[in-house]
Amino acid sequence: MNLINGFCLAAGILKGVQVLVVDNDRDSRDLYAFLLEDQSANVITAGSVKEALEILSWFTPNILVCEIRFLGESIYTLLNTLTAMEADNGNHIPIIVTSTSTTGTHDLIPNVEFEEYLLKPFDLDKFVSMIRNQVQGDVAEKFCPELLVLQKPTVLLSTSQSHNRVEFSSATCRNNTKE
């Protein structure tokens, strides 16, 4: 079990979830992958739209987490490919868009619908919850454990943007269900 930003999450909360993370910032990609894999998600990362398109030729995600801005590349190609995949397999692939910019971001992709928008830096426990909520009807509800309650925290996950490091620790949790 893990304690992330003060919330106790059961290990495996994203078991069976296929996530494609597309971000041109290596630190962001690595952080998202580590966090989601720690929750038992299967995560594939890409550093460019071109790389993501190559991955989509052999990998079908349950959800896409994508930075909105790429130098010299448009995410329209990526999003159009996802739309075609949805038409082929009949399953909607939710999109969570991330960005470091607060101005004009939605204007960059005016004709594209996405489920969530996250301004970097964002709350990591909310990020995990968003993914779980978006894929609940697809994969996650088959695998999600019962609600857990924090019993005795020992440490928290913290990030330090100025030093580009993440510190992880553990906590003790107990199951809040009656047997």
Q: What are phi and psi of 62, to 5 degrees?
A: -85, -20
State which H helix or E strand residue 158 sits in: strand 158-160
Neighbours of 46 (CB within 10 A): 21
Lowest-pLDDT range, 24-28, 76-80, 134-138? 134-138
CA dihedral for 44, 59, 24, 140, sign (positive or negative): negative
Q: Which residues contact residue 93 at a Cβ distance below 8 angstroms, ignoring those fewer than 6 apart?
A: 60, 61, 62, 63, 64, 82, 85, 86
CA dist., res. 72 & res. 95, Å (int): 21
pTM: 0.70
CATH number of 19-143: 3.40.50.2300
Please state, in angstroms and as integers, the Cα–Cα distance from residue 79 to each residue in 25, 46, 50, following that order: 19, 14, 12
* The token pair that represents 72 in the structure block: 């010299």
CA dist., res. 150 & res. 135, Å (int): 24
Query: pLDDT tens for residues 56-113?
Result: 999 999 999 999 888 888 888 898 888 888 888 888 899 998 988 766 555 655 566 7
Instruction: Judge whether 65 and 98 are in contact, CB under 8 Å.
Output: yes
Query: pLDDT tens for residues 143-167?
Result: 444 433 333 332 333 333 433 333 3
